[in-house]
Amino acid sequence: MGCEITTRERAGVINPMYDCQPAGAQYAGIGLKDSIPLVHGGQGCSMFVRLLFAQHFKENFDVASTSLHEDSAVFGGHMRIQEGILTLVRRYPQLRIIPVITTCSTEVIGDDVEGNIKYALDQIAKEFPGREVNVFAVHTPSFKSSQVGGYSECVLSTWKAIAKEKAPATGKLNIFPGWVNPGDVVLLKHYLKEFGVQGDIFMDTEDFDSPMLPDKSIHTHGRTTVEDIKASTGALASLSLARYEAASTVDFLKNTHGVPGHQIAAPYGIANTDAMLQKISEITGKPIPDSLVHERGVAIDALQDLAHMFFANKKVAIFGHPDLVIGLADFCTEVELEPTLLLLGDDNTRYKKDPRLLAMKEKVPYDMEVVCNADLWELEKRVKDGSKKYDLILGHSKGRYVAIDANIPMARVGFPTFDRAGLYRHPTMGYRGAMLLGEQIANAMFTHMEYTRDREWLLNTW
């Protein structure tokens, strides 16, 4: 009994869980309004990431490339950075932000990104007097960290570049949820509204779920503006809901602008959400509203129907973003599911010291493995050689074949979830997220019972 934290022993990866750093940086970059990230690297580095976003959200997002070729590999890609920035600024008059995202190739070549940005800015000042375009470097070599760190790095670089001055006090809350779905952003906004608290969600990705309108206008873009970022330095406090994706920017606001920062557990499951609401209440002095107590009750009521009847003693394998996986493990234990395998997919050495994992290590009454720097083969191997049995898989669509081939029910959660319709629209965070995920899990299990004729009659009277 107990929880063992290990690391992948193989050198190579078979079926990765995460994309590389520049991919994460691009995800952060599209969360900004009037922004087109410019990826300094080969064309594939942006093309496939755009495709990935389109697969997940069923939406198109603008990301540009400096289109690095052999000559740049030999002589440096300086002119391509300048040309890329100027072409964007000239052709997109609304453009106000260009994160210049580096890749493995341009970091190896060692292009002076900052110097070239300066040249481009001088040119912009001449051509477009009075126009403010925020162009800044985001250093995300693909051979370090992963999409998780890349997301964090781009958010931090954005704040360092734009949030330079201390703004007057706004009384607002900064909430940095990390890499989440539009459904989560909407949920967090709803909570603030119920509280009567003013706040900003960074990044505000609500419009990643955008409409087809009679006037054919396109609204698929982030909502976080330059003004929002500048004003964030005058906020009442910042909340980081993701230790590995948001904490660095919250620390920056604290250390540079004196905005009090709070790192809390990602609000997955009931108790983690409780803690978040209590923290908001504590910071703002406002009581937790009755409406949220009601929502909490509805969620617990729904989960109560599922937990000891269907979920108890079921063994679960979970993979995905670190804050999500750890949060989902908490959620599982709340509903009597047993998270027996957690996979964290990059070489961040801090995972092993994560207080949430250490706490789990203390308390789990069954065998549990946490594999750091894991790939999806870690899961598939355990399933295939029969050394471990899982009744449920929780993770993103890249792991779908493990579930399909081994006939294990799987609930899609996280990023990307391209093989199920509309999941990005629903929250996973909060009471509602916990309830929806619990029901999604139950329905996956019920369908599985029917297809495998495994006591499907049980549901006749449920």
CA distance readout (Å), 356 to 337, 351, 437: 17, 9, 21
Q: Is 37 in the site for another protein (CB under 8 A)?
A: no
> Closest distance between another protein and the C-beta of residue 246, in Å?
22
Tokens of 438: 């619990």
Q: Is residue 210 within 8 Å of residue 219, measured between CB atoms?
A: yes
Q: Is residue 413 within 8 Å of residue 437, measured between CB atoms?
A: yes
Q: Is 451 in the site for another protein (CB under 8 A)?
A: no
> Closest distance between another protein and the C-beta of residue 145, in Å?
9
Stretch in the footprint of another protein (CB under 8 A) among 16-24, 282-290, 292-300, 423-431: 16-24
Among 18, 27, 244, 415, binds another protein (CB under 8 A): 18
Q: Is 343 in the site for another protein (CB under 8 A)?
A: no
Eight-state DSSP code of residue 127 = H
Q: How far apart are CA 364 and CA 333, in angstroms?
A: 9
Element (H, E) at 114: helix 113-127
Q: In the complex with another protein, which residue's Cβ is closer, 355 or 422?
A: 422
Among 129, 168, 214, 287, binds another protein (CB under 8 A): 214
Among 35, 102, 142, 428, binds another protein (CB under 8 A): 142
Q: Is 49 in the site for another protein (CB under 8 A)?
A: yes
Q: Is residue 179 within 8 Å of residue 151, measured between CB atoms?
A: yes
Among 33, 257, 398, 448, binds another protein (CB under 8 A): 398
Q: How far apart are CA 38 and CA 98, in angstroms?
A: 6
Q: In the complex with another protein, which residue's Cβ is closer, 148 or 175?
A: 148
Q: How far apart are CA 120 and CA 360, in angstroms?
A: 51
> Closest distance between another protein and the C-beta of residue 66, in Å?
4
DSSP class per residue in 204-258: --GGGS----TT-----S--B-HHHHHHGGG-SEEEES-TTTTHHHHHHHHHHH-
Query: 34: which strand partners?
Result: none
Return all residues near 48 (Cβ < 8 A) that are at least 6 apart.
Answer: none
Among 4, 14, 115, 291, binds another protein (CB under 8 A): 14
> What is the edge-to-edge ordering of all strands in the sheet holding 134-138?
64-65, 38-40, 97-102, 134-138
Q: Is 85 in the site for another protein (CB under 8 A)?
A: yes
Q: Is 209 in the site for another protein (CB under 8 A)?
A: no
Among 377, 439, 449, 456, binds another protein (CB under 8 A): 377
**Cis preceding linkage at 177, omega within 30:** no
Task: Provide φ and ψ at 77, rounded to 5°.
Answer: -105, 30
Q: In the complex with another protein, which residue's Cβ is closer, 68 or 303?
A: 68
Sort 441 into a burial class: Cβ within 10 Å, 0-12 / 13-18 / 19+: buried
Query: 2: which strand partners?
Result: 367
Q: Is 23 in the site for another protein (CB under 8 A)?
A: yes
> Closest distance between another protein and the C-beta of residue 462, in Å?
35
Stretch in the footprint of another protein (CB under 8 A) among 43-51, 157-165, 173-181, 440-448: 43-51
Stretch in the footprint of another protein (CB under 8 A) among 7-15, 156-164, 282-290, 323-331: 7-15
Q: Is 42 in the site for another protein (CB under 8 A)?
A: yes
Tokens of 27: 């995800």
Q: In the complex with another protein, which residue's Cβ is closer, 75 or 457?
A: 75
Q: Is 210 in the site for another protein (CB under 8 A)?
A: yes
Residue type, 357: L
> Closest distance between another protein and the C-beta of residue 175, in Å?
28
Q: Is 25 in the site for another protein (CB under 8 A)?
A: no
Among 35, 102, 103, 233, binds another protein (CB under 8 A): 103
Q: Is 144 in the site for another protein (CB under 8 A)?
A: yes
Query: 283: which strand partners?
Result: none
Q: Is 126 in the site for another protein (CB under 8 A)?
A: no
Q: Is 401 in the site for another protein (CB under 8 A)?
A: yes
- Residues 55-84 within binding reach of another protein (CB under 8 A): 55, 58-60, 62-70, 72-73, 80-81, 83-84
Among 126, 216, 453, 455, binds another protein (CB under 8 A): 216
Tokens of 1: 């009994």
Among 19, 111, 330, 369, binds another protein (CB under 8 A): 19
Q: Nearest to residue 395, comparing CAs of 372, 414, 374?
A: 414
> Closest distance between another protein and the C-beta of residue 62, in Å?
6
